[in-house]
Amino acid sequence: MTRIKEAVLTEWIGQILTGSGLDQEQAQMISEHLVLANLRGVDSHGISKIDVYCKRLEKGIVNKKLNFHITKETPVSALIDGENSMGISLATKGIKLAVQKAKEVGVGIVGISHSNHAGMLAAYTDYAAQHDCISIAVTNAPSVMAPWGGRTPFFGTNPISYSIPTGGEMNIVFDMATTTVAKGKIVLAEKENKSIPVGWAISKDGRETTDPKEALEGLLLPVGGPKGYGLSFLVETLSSLFTGAAYGPYIGSLFDDFEHEQNVGQFFFVMRADLFQELDVFKARVDQMAQEIKGIERMQGVDRIYLPGEIEFERTRELRQNGIPVSAQMLETLQAISDQLGIKTEQFSPVG
Ligand SMILES: NC(=O)c1ccc[n+]([C@@H]2O[C@H](COP(=O)([O-])OP(=O)(O)OC[C@H]3O[C@@H](n4cnc5c(N)ncnc54)[C@H](O)[C@@H]3O)[C@@H](O)[C@H]2O)c1
């Protein structure tokens, strides 16, 4: 692993995105998002997505322009038609609008249809927390998981994230796929020739597997069995049935379908954290509860209790200081895309 500083990697990814036809604003939003995912240790949704994004831009399956319009609006809500623009750009605009509405009227609800892959949801909920809001974000995704008891893919990895502002430096930012893991983690394991743990997936003939290739041809398992399936049902409903986006099997694949738009949906629910009690009273109560949780007696073999999102927060702090680990394989991919786009790479040197 080579380490590259955040600013250097963001600049490199940004240049690749402008080289692929995006304007400066979008290149900045997307490069910052992808690098933030790596900083948080969510490598599956970080710069590893750059090759598929570039391929989709090159093939013209995604709108290079950030065209979108609001189709229905009330003081508390807005429905955005994303016009097949880049998902991260749309979702970044969407959460900003939801926060703005929450600031004005207390609650902001934003749905997006005709969107694309929107990356790591924590980026959006963290933004809301930084603006003293409690938030929930969901997105649907192409089908890779059967409804509990079935063997045919129907729902996607359908992640859900929430954030809660605290009085400290770290906000609570929880973010999980409703499958045992995000599909990107299996794609990454395959790219890096690693096996995957039992419990993540089954092969297409219904066997448990540790081979990422078999898993990608087969099915992911819902987290917590029927409970993950139940949560995924909610995520799907809010992201698609509610917004008008495609659902489950009708969503275009990010990795395998280079002919049709994805028509993914996103949904954000944001409320001001001072809706019921004064902000400092609420935050002090969150801090109190967090402190009590961290102080409880631990299970055998556990040396520390983490708050939701704390592992990612600490990782971000460490990587901001020491640089972001980038695998040799990932470096090769970045170099190959840069060569293809005529981008000079000498300036993007590793740390040390
Ligand atoms: N855009 C998409 O289509 C899409 C689809 C699926 C997933 N994703 C993204 O993939 C990412 C990874 O999802 P995942 O399910 O693999 O995440 P994960 O399993 O790594 O983490 C899930 C959550 O558990 C918390 N956690 C982990 N260990 C903990 C501990 N010991 N104590 C307390 N909390 C702990 C983490 O802070 C995190 O909030 C997410 O960012 C998600 O938004 C995106």
Residues 101 and 139 in one domain: yes
Q: What is the pLDDT of residue 206?
A: 86
Examine residue 187 and state whether it is found in any structural domain, yes or no.
no
Q: What is the pLDDT of residue 150?
A: 85
Residues 99 and 128 in one domain: yes
CA-141 nearest atom, ligand 1:
3
Give the residue-averaged pLDDT of 316-341: 96
Examine residue 195 and state whether it is found in any structural domain, yes or no.
no
Q: What is the pLDDT of residue 1?
A: 85
Give the residue-averaged pLDDT of 121-128: 98
Residues 97 and 148 in one domain: yes
Residues 6 and 42 in one domain: yes
Residues 81 and 175 in one domain: yes
Domain closes at, from 259, 277, 295: 277
119 Cβ inside 6 Å of ligand 1: yes
Q: What is the pLDDT of residue 184?
A: 81
Q: What is the pLDDT of residue 199?
A: 87
Neighbours of 103 (CB within 10 A): 14
Give the residue-averaged pLDDT of 172-194: 91
Residues 31 and 81 in one domain: no
The answer to which of 94-98, 108-112, 208-212, 241-245 has the lowest mean pLDDT is: 208-212
Residues 123 and 145 in one domain: yes
pLDDT in tens, 158-175: 999 999 999 999 999 999
Examine residue 192 and state whether it is found in any structural domain, yes or no.
no
182 Cβ inside 6 Å of ligand 1: yes
Q: What is the pLDDT of residue 352?
A: 58
The CATH number linked to 170 is: 3.30.1370.60
CA distances from 323 to 2, 229, 313 (A): 9, 37, 15
CA-312 nearest atom, ligand 1:
37
Examine residue 159 and state whether it is found in any structural domain, yes or no.
yes
Residue range of the domain that includes 115:
67-179+222-277
Examine residue 199 and state whether it is found in any structural domain, yes or no.
no
Give the count of alpha carbons within 13 A of 44, CB side only: 16
For residue 270, give the nearest of 118, 163, 342 by alpha carbon.
163
Residues 154 and 72 in one domain: yes
pLDDT in tens, 143-157: 999 998 888 999 999
Both tokens of 133, joined, read 């809001």
Q: What is the pLDDT of residue 350?
A: 83
Examine residue 293 and state whether it is found in any structural domain, yes or no.
no
- The region that residue 91 occupies, defined by phi over 0 for left and psi between -120 and 50 for alpha, beta otherwise, is alpha
157 Cβ inside 6 Å of ligand 1: yes
Give the residue-averaged pLDDT of 37-62: 97
Structural domain count of the chain:
2
Examine residue 243 and state whether it is found in any structural domain, yes or no.
yes
What are the beta bridge partners of residue 78?
Answer: 73, 110
Residues 139 and 257 in one domain: yes
Residues 133 and 268 in one domain: yes
Determine the distance separating the centroid of ligand 1 and the alpha carbon of 331, expressed in angstroms.
25
Residues 4 and 128 in one domain: no
Examine residue 231 and state whether it is found in any structural domain, yes or no.
yes
What letters, b where the CB count within 10 A reaches 16 and e where it falls short, cover 50-79? bbebbbbbbeebbbbebebeeeeeeebbbb
The CATH number linked to 37 is: 1.10.1530.10
CA-311 nearest atom, ligand 1:
37
Determine the distance separating the centroid of ligand 1 and the alpha carbon of 99, expressed in angstroms.
23
